[in-house]
Amino acid sequence: MADIIVPELAESITEGTIAQWLKQPGDTVEKGEFIVELETDKVNVEVISEEAGVVSELLAAEGDTVQVGQVIAVVGAGSGSTASTPAARPEAKEEVKAPEATKAAPVTEETTTEQDRTIASPAARKLAREKGINLSEISPVDPMGRVRVQDVSAHGSAPAPTKAVQAPAASAPKEDDGRTTREKMSRRRQTIATRLLEVRQNTAMLTTFNEIDMTNVMALRSRKKDQFFEQNDVRLGFMSFFTKAVVAALKKYPYVNSQIDGTDIVKNNFYDIGIAVSTEGGLVVPIVRDADRKNFAEIEGNIGELAKKARDNKLALSDMSGGSFTITNGGVFGSLMSTPILNGTQVGILGMHTIQKRPIAVGNEIEIRPMMYVALSYDHRVIDGKDSVGFLKTVKELLENPEDLLLNS
């Protein structure tokens, strides 16, 4: 018999949340096989079983907060059975005893097997039994097909719900009229909220704006994108242009690439650029290391790999630590203008926005040009208006003359 223990996650992480159990009581598990996924402040971690056997007990439910070193499951000896067999889940017999009042579908051997094969959390199975719902009929939100409690609740909510199903606890706020939905914040969302609030409270943050005529960089990209893809097997996007322009501007205005340590200003002599990526769990900022030493193809490749890891919850702590400056692109969602919030101890962040055609004065003529508003949020304790405006102006000039950017890189 072996205990499944929450492992050491990182120096600064002492607890996590059970995101989902990958094995259930009665399931066979091999040595080294993943048994549970933990959600931490920064990344999701899959925990393996150190021994082969059968899962005999789960000591924590999905959504529970667990501490490093805590025993969360027990694996016993034996061959067990797989999750797809009815014998693997004793509760399967209970699932088929749906009360008539719920008008559940007639139970047959075939529907019992379908329910057993459905991947669902213990809490979801319990709620489904209570409501007499066949798990195989539920359409989960999870792209992997796992049924959660909220999926069961949503499936079981009829247009005119009965009080027996909807009645809240005496101490709970009234939510039975459907006007509100209560959802617990994920651990990552709680951490994001706390850190953003700390930044707003502990920095003298200001934002300055400018706009970039994207005509030349769009034309260059259009001319070179096919050749670029053929030579590098990666697509040429705008992020590599912006990353290179930011690095050049940081070299010219080094205080924008710094941080405060007590009463000291620490200027970074490296250029590790964070690229904000939106995921279902919230915003994460993986780092493109040594961006000053990489060409356009290497930067685009790094960004693509990191974005995929972020969406697949495969980012490691090392992928997100130690950045010196951040770029965030609200334009992918259609944002025309925003004031981005500083990332951690950094003193500058560049916000990109959507490209919009607008009438612009070009010499003595009015022309329609593709324009982008850009925003630099900065910590005024370190950076004065001269450096902030100069930094943003440098980024603008380089992107409006991308040949200079290519020569400088």
User: What tokens appear for 364 in the block?
Assistant: 């003595």
Cβ burial, residue 55 (10 Å; 0-12/13-18/19+): buried
Annotated active-site residue 177? The verdict is no
Annotated active-site residue 384? The verdict is yes
146-150 long-range contacts, Cβ below 8 Å, gap at least 24? 146/20, 146/119, 146/120, 146/121, 147/118, 147/119, 147/120, 147/121, 148/62, 148/120, 148/121, 148/124, 149/121, 149/123, 149/124, 150/183
Cβ burial, residue 353 (10 Å; 0-12/13-18/19+): buried
- 64, 226, 312, 380: the active-site residue: 380
- 177, 384, 387, 404: the active-site residue: 384
Catalytic residue IDs: 380, 384
